[in-house]
Structure 1
Amino acid sequence: MLSVNSFSLSLNDKVLINHLSFDIDNGHVLSIMGPSGIGKSSLLHFLSGTLHQGVTATGEAFLNQAPIHGIPTASRGVGLLQQMPLLFPHMSILENLLFAITDQIPTKERHKMAQQALEKLGIPDKANALPKDLSGGQQARVALLRTLLSKPDYLLLDEPFSKLDPALRRDVRAFVLDEIRHANIPALLVTHDPEDAKAMKGECIELDYPIGI
């Protein structure tokens, strides 16, 4: 379970989020919606330990009741999926997937895991292709599986469907939800699109600026 307790966010002394608390069970997605500039992405930065300078945040975050708000990013076990797939353009799809798998696993097993991911994606013949050779939907799926192959303890989703054509969004949303359920980890989605939140089939919190701001 991922838990946030009394999270508040301000920028240049302007309060954007005030005392936000929530819990996300394993295998579930909580969606956060709100206007641009409300601090949705900064909430993700707080949870990943990458908060930008000039942004002030208070509150606590826990993973399975263990505090994570005071530890380095590398120790948090966080996975992040953003608007752009951010695949390495000079690396093949297989190499992109292998990059996420710890080298503590034997090489033969690592290749087997990556090949199984390609088969799940339905593109086993694209192992040696470059990201530019894939469609937007295929890139999004590869990016998700690459993230999950790193075995994160929780997943943060920053508008991951916004760059997809409308016809692709439904399928990719369903794929993302299925994989989160299969990985059985908590996930937090921030989005402008109510259809994104609806597709995640979980709780949705709508943020607005505090009264008086």
Structure 2
Amino acid sequence: MSDGLCFDAVTIEKDGTRLLSVSASVAPGDVLTLMGPSGSGKSTLLSLVMGDLPPAFRTSGRVILKGRDLAGLPPEARHIGILYQDPLLFPHLSVAANLAFGLPRGESRAMRRDLVKTALEDVDLAGFGPRDPATLSGGQAARVALMRTLLSRPAALLLDEPFSKLDTGLRDQMRRLVFDRARAARVPVLMVTHDEADAEAAGGEVIRL
């Protein structure tokens, strides 16, 4: 699968114990969900994809993204976006500046301003650009974090329990938003979660560890 994310017989071990073994492919716009108890290796696989897996872990197999083996590539060369439980917005930057941070270099100032404005409009936050991130609700901050990640045009999107701290109503809304946006951008998604409803909303393959 030249445009997607592929796990080719990937295994991760620590202290001689195998934590997980994964062989799967994620097409552009699709979601692969990893479910399992704490310590089963879910977040460890995210670290492997990101390129920041601690040296205490041993791995075999290949992670291939858009036809490129990620082995040996530094994190910044992988072009991978990730959303965590917390939005992790920069507190010293405005909402607009947070979004602009995600934009690739090389765009003109006018183009960057237009992209930020459109991104805010797309998630019903028109006019929020000058706001301090501390004034945002949990759902608003989550939407800004999502758009900041997507504006960076990631080759793949990783989701690390991104809906777990939202209340029930917001959780449903954010699930739809994230999966719809990823599908529209044709970005392969790898999601780690404890919540069966997340996996059901994602609609893709589920691997239980």
Answer yes or no: same fold by TM over 0.5. Answer: yes
The question of whether the paired residues in 2 share the 8 Å contact of 1:47 and 1:69 is answered with no
CA distance in 1, matches of 2:167, 2:6: 33
In the TM superposition, residue 57 of structure 1 has moved relative to its aligned partner by 2.0
Match for 1:11: what amino acid? K
Structure 1 residue aligned with 2:174: 172
Residue 17 of structure 2: aligned partner? 14
Counterparts of 1:15 and 1:203 in 2: how far apart (Å)? 22
Q: How does 1:54-69 map to 2 (within 5 A)?
A: 54-69=56-71
Deviations along 1:10-41, whole A, 9 cap, x unmatched?
Answer: 222222113x1100000111111011101100
| 1:169 Cα deviation after fit | 0.3
Contact 2:30–2:204, Cα closer than 8 Å, also in 1: yes
- Specify the SS of the correspondent of 2:127: helix
Partner of 2:106: 104
Matches within 5 A, 1:146-185: 146-185=148-187
Stretch deviating more after TM superposition (22-31 or 53-62):
53-62
* Corresponding position of 1:24: 26
Q: Give me the whole-angstrom Cα distance separating, in 2, the residues matched to 1:52 and 1:141.
A: 30
- 4+ long deviations beyond 4 Å: none
String of CA shifts for 1:136-186, please: whole Å, max 9, x gaps.
111111101100101111111111111111221000000001100111111
Structure 1 range deviating more: 198-207 or 62-71: 62-71
Distance 2:57 2:86 in 1: 24
Of 66-75 and 154-163, more deviation after overlay is shown by 66-75
- Aligned equivalents of 2:99, 2:9: Cα separation in 1: 37
RMSD: 1.0
Q: How many residues align?
A: 206
Which amino acid in structure 2 is aligned with residue 125 of structure 1?
Answer: G
Provide the rounded CA distance (Å) in 2 between the counterparts of 1:163 and 1:53: 30
TM-score, with length taken from structure 2: 0.95
Match of 2:95 among 93, 100, 107: 93
| Pairwise CA distance, 1:83 | 1.1
- Report SS of the residue matched to 2:203: coil
1:130 alignment counterpart? 132
Alignment-derived partner of residue 6 in structure 2:
3
Q: Deviations over 1:72-121 (max 9, x none)?
A: 11111111111111100111100100111123000100000000011111
1:75 is aligned to 2:67? no
Deviation at 1:70, TM superposition (A): 2.4
* Paired AA for residue 106 in structure 1: S
Once residues 110 and 95 of structure 1 are traced to their aligned partners in structure 2, the CA distance between those partners, rounded to angstroms, is 10
Aligned residue type for 2:198: D
- Residue identity (%): 43
- Which residue number in structure 2 is paired with residue 210 of structure 1? none
Counterpart of 2:85 in structure 1: which amino acid? Q
Contact residue 32 and residue 204 of structure 1 kept, 8 A: yes
